[in-house]
A = this chain, B = another copy of it.
Amino acid sequence: MNDASVPPEDPAAGDPAAGGPAAGGPAGAARRAVEALYADDRAAQALGIEMLEVAPGHVRVAMTVRPDMLNGHGTCHGGFLFALADTAFAYACNSHGQAMVAAGASIEFLAPCAGGERLIATASETSRAARHGIYDVAVAKDSGELRAHFRGRCARLRVPSATP
């Protein structure tokens, strides 16, 4: 994660001396949980996804539509719009420190996205219980114009089976 892109809402989070699970409170814990996930997320990195904001149950990420993301209509392939929203969802539902996996999701495409557009996905927590959660993600242009709405459902990761 590009630290510079994350608002320095929790200065102590980067300070080893501040250690301990409580450092920075819930916001700091959420950032650390998501940073750890992002560090291992080769897919998100390969897609050029940047972290903009992390709070418990709330995440904002960005991605710019590259030429290799365009479909036969010359607009962004739905799979990449979904991947951006799904990433925001995954980080939001894992921001509480308990490992959750996606069980399913739906997406509504509101308007096509052109190459070069910078898209922002904002995930918020609609419902959260011990073993399940629902998160809504809005995908919009930098200007705020909406491109897609996504709703994801997650379930607690079982150990050792990773099946949702």
Q: Mark A31-42, 1 if CB is under 8 A from B, else 0.
A: 000001111111
Chain B hits for A5, CB < 8 A: none
Q: Mark A56-86, 1 if CB is under 8 A from B, else 0.
A: 0000000000011111111111111011101
Query: How many residues of chain A get a CB closer than 8 Å to chain B's CBs?
Result: 58
Chain B hits for A129, CB < 8 A: 110, 163
* Of A47, A99, A163, most B-chain CB atoms within 10 Å: A163
Chain B hits for A97, CB < 8 A: none
User: A47-B79, A83-B80, A109-B104 given as contacts; is B163 within 8 A of A149 (CB)?
Assistant: no
Q: How far is the CB of A132 from chain B (nearest CB, A)?
A: 8
Q: Number of copies of this chain in the oligomer? A: 4
State whether the Cβ of A17 lies closer than 8 Å to any Cβ in chain B: no
Identify whether the interface residues of A are mostly helix, strand, loop, or mixed.
Answer: mixed
In the complex formed, the residue of B with least CB distance to A49 is: B79
User: A108-B153, A109-B102, A112-B162 given as contacts; is B72 within 8 A of A41 (CB)?
Assistant: yes
B41 engages A71 (CB within 8 Å): yes
User: A109-B103, A111-B163 given as contacts; is B40 within 8 A of A72 (CB)?
Assistant: yes
B82 engages A79 (CB within 8 Å): yes
